[in-house]
Amino acid sequence: MDLLASGRDADVYRHRDGLVLRRYRDGRSAEVEGALMRELARLGYPVPAVESASGPDLVMEQLEGSTMAAELLNGTLDPREGGRLLAHLHDALHTLPWPGEQPLLHLDLHPLNVIMSGSTAVVIDWANARPGPADLDVAMSALILAQVVISPEIVIDSMPGSASPDDGEAHLVTQLTSLLGSFTSEVSPFSDHLTDAAALRRADPHQSETELAQLADAVDLVHSLI
């Protein structure tokens, strides 16, 4: 199989025509995630169509398009529009008729996990999804964006060849700062959940030492915008 992409905990391979296979490197099951994505699709939320899920393997639709991060970096997406779109994706998710007393949260909804496929923004990577207070999801997205503003190499390193390091980082910081400002202006107040969002990031085993060391600065950056 041809390797198409690698994330922090999974690899994506070309599977067959129109499909990709995402495999968790630690062997964890993708079956619950696959079932959740099927339910989201049934409810009309924009996710890749799931073909099958077995053990650590999730076979799903191969999307045509690029990530929101790539479009911000190459200038094809206005960051203010990107912020509004990210807010809309949160609103649409949190208003779905989900079982229980709380909405479903993505908890990793950021520009690398949004694929701009034609006229549709499709959300990928539902590994962290669970029910909870909607404002926690919003706070998590704002905090992740702030972390990348402080350390743009987080995104640049995942997009080899997209731009020269110096120019790419400076441009991405400008774009994401604008997107973050637009996003925070479009969502409901969420400052009460920033501490919980930071605790979740601190407990994430995939956070680097640099990211953890700069987490407090990222929280301060978000506070300065709300």
The conformational region for residue 55 under phi > 0 = left, psi -120 to 50 = alpha, else beta, is left
User: Which token pair is 153?
Assistant: 């190499």
Distance CA 195, CA 35 (A): 31
Architecture field, domain 3-61: 2-Layer Sandwich (3.30)
Answer yes or no: are the C-beta atoms of 138 and 90 closer than 8 Å. yes
Q: What is the pLDDT of residues 76-88, one digit of tens each?
A: 999 999 999 999 9
For the chain, the distance separating the N- and C-terminal CA atoms, rounded to the nearest angstrom, is 46
Q: What is the pLDDT of residues 4-35, one digit of tens each?
A: 888 888 999 999 889 999 999 999 999 999 99
Q: What is the pLDDT of residues 89-126, one digit of tens each?
A: 999 999 999 999 999 999 999 999 999 988 899 999 99
Instruction: Considering only CA atoms, give the Rg of the chain.
Output: 17
Answer yes or no: are the C-beta atoms of 115 and 149 closer than 8 Å. no
| Domains of the chain, residue spans | 3-61, 66-225
Amino acid identity of residue 12, one-letter, is V
Question: Strands 3-6 and 130-131: what pairing?
Answer: unpaired
Q: What are phi and psi of 102, to 5 degrees?
A: -125, 155
User: Which token pair is 123?
Assistant: 């959300």
